[in-house]
Amino acid sequence: MILVTGGAGFIGSVLARDLNRRGHKDLIIVDRLGKADKWKNLRHVNFEDFIHADELFLADRDDLFSQLTAIYHLGACSSTTENDVDFLMGNNYAFSKNIFNLATQYDIPLVYASSAATYGDGEQGYADNESKAHALLPLNPYGFSKKIFDDWVLGQKSTPARWFGVKFFNVYGPNEYHKGEMRSIVHKAFGQIQTSGKVKLFKSHKAGYKDGEQLRDFVYVNDVTAGMISLIEDTKKKASGIYNMGTGKARSFLDLVTAVFRALDKTPEIEFIDMPLNIRDQYQYFTEADMGKIKKILPKLKLHTLEEGVKDYVQNYLIKADSYFQ
């Protein structure tokens, strides 16, 4: 039996369905569904039970916890513009500690979601070096909440026999539709092209970067979930630790949007607009995962190129009547 927190969310629901494809249907989904369309992410997922996140630790669940063979912890607020720090501390930090303690108590292999937001402006690089993790300076409260949990985990003397913190870079793909402004630029660009024929991108407000040439490590969600599953199924005890999950190659927003136009067989038309003042000081102009560490333990991990991933997302999901991961 496998527990997936955040199992109705973007990455969590794709992970759950990916587990289904690999023969795992005894899933316990933990999440908050709210009033948006997040519930639709579960329509193609086979699972045994759903537990509201606020109720997971309110009852004696020893019978359930003792049967778990893996925990994938993706339940968190992932908004980089969230400014309610108390909320983030409860949802992203305290709840995550409870999950880690659960995994430790029952010795359940655990994969949890960290974030590239922990790296801040990247001045210290993007290497997943645990000995330097404490010195990272996130730019926003979300990144801070993820960073201090990483720090807490690294300070624990008692842990599950196998645990993995995964620092996601810019993930895009199916089932992100409920995320509002936190949707990927791929999905936003697709919508803008369908309605106006052109895409709006932020101008650069930093010397050394031309408009549209801000660089990010864009990674396809299918690759992320495959990697997370492999961490549990294809590694040994000694591999526990914190790992980057990107592609290892930064690409520009112009590259990204051009790939969307090409997937739709359209000529690129781009308009540059000012970046909102409230995010300028928090904006990352460059991210690129150092993938050397994770490739040592997952040498067979396959990653889509930007063009391959965008083409698959657009042509096999976004243009379909049912755009959800199946």
Q: Would you name the residues annotated as active-site residues?
A: 142, 179
Contacts of 144 (CB under 8 A, 6+ apart): 85, 88, 138
Using alpha carbons, list the distances in angstroms from residue 171 to 29, 68, 182, 264, 288: 21, 27, 11, 20, 13
Q: How many residues does the chain have?
A: 326
Separation of alpha carbons 311 and 34, rounded Å: 31
Q: If you count DSSP H runs as helices and E runs as strands, how many of each does the chain have, helices first?
A: 11, 13
Q: Are strands 270-273 and 199-202 parallel, antiparallel or unpaired?
A: parallel
Q: Are 199 and 260 in contact (CB under 8 A)?
A: yes
Contacts of 169 (CB under 8 A, 6+ apart): 116, 216, 217, 218, 219, 244, 245, 246, 247, 287, 289
Q: Are strands 215-216 and 251-252 parallel, antiparallel or unpaired?
A: antiparallel
For residue 312, which phi and psi values (nearest 5 degrees)? Answer: -65, -45
Rg for the chain, CA atoms, rounded: 19
Q: Give residue 94's identity as a one-letter amino acid code.
A: A
Helix H or strand E segment including 213: none
